Amino acid sequence: MFALMKNKAESTYNEVIKAIQDVWNTLGETCQIKRLHTDYEAAEQNAFAKLVGKDHVYGCLFHFSKACLKHLGMLGLYPYYQLKVDGKYAPEYLSIRIYIRCLLALPCLPKEDAQWLWKLLRNPPKAPNDEIYWPSKLLEDFLSYYESTWINKKDNTWTFFKLGRVRNTNGAESFHSAQAKTNYSKPRLAQFLVRRRLLAESVNVRLRKLEKSGTRVKPQNRQYDQVRKRIQAMELEYEERRETYTSDHERAVAMMRFARQIASTIHGDDLFLMYPEGLNH
């Protein structure tokens, strides 16, 4: 479905939602959507919550990570996160990078586990020695942002545990990017609407073909498929071990290990596997 909107105000999103509901009512249909992913526009999320229900609206892991890294840059903390010497991450600031990566992976835990682990992660790493400058104030500023923006969310827009193949809005982003490349200049409204109708019809034709047995389906990118399978295996192992904790320490170590393994898999960096026993604050 395509909607041409005059702005991104919640009232405008509500007009789109009402149009969808009107069509459903005319067809005698009810909403069957179990999970709907959006980015973190509050107006968009609020509107779609009215369509599918608040508990069925999920966020986007990519946009969450992007927002966090952007805020690191705004604070001036990003250089410490990314600093390299001779092609390797600077050892004196490596604990900051590991720490931030754990925070980026936190929503990949079950929601209640993420909240529990946050209480431990709320204390940032300390300087390894007194000879280097340590951005303590910047770390505290980032944690204040992280807590108010993400930890305080009570809905499902900040949880990605066991969501399978889809944890983001990348499909929509890729589609929009491809469409932008086909429009070298801003088209006239009538021309734009004709293109959208033709595109919608081509999608419908493809969907009808997919309903027929024997239709070839383009396989998922092999690299993405391997990542998905690794994450599923990690989640299964984590769930199995989750019921065997005998102490808070054991629970914390298991959560930290899982967060680092997930971060390593998603972000393609194996340095987290070097530190299996937890951060030293």
Question: pLDDT tens, 133-190?
Answer: 999 999 999 999 999 999 999 899 999 999 886 666 766 766 777 666 666 677 788 8
HSE value, Cβ hemisphere, 13 Å, CA-based, for 121: 30
85 in helix, strand or coil? Answer: strand
Question: Which tokens belong to 114?
Answer: 């993420």
Is the pTM above the cut of 0.85? Answer: no
Q: Tell which wins on pLDDT, 191 or 9.
A: 9
Q: Which phi and psi (to 5°) does residue 128 adopt?
A: -70, -25
Question: Which tokens belong to 191?
Answer: 């021309």
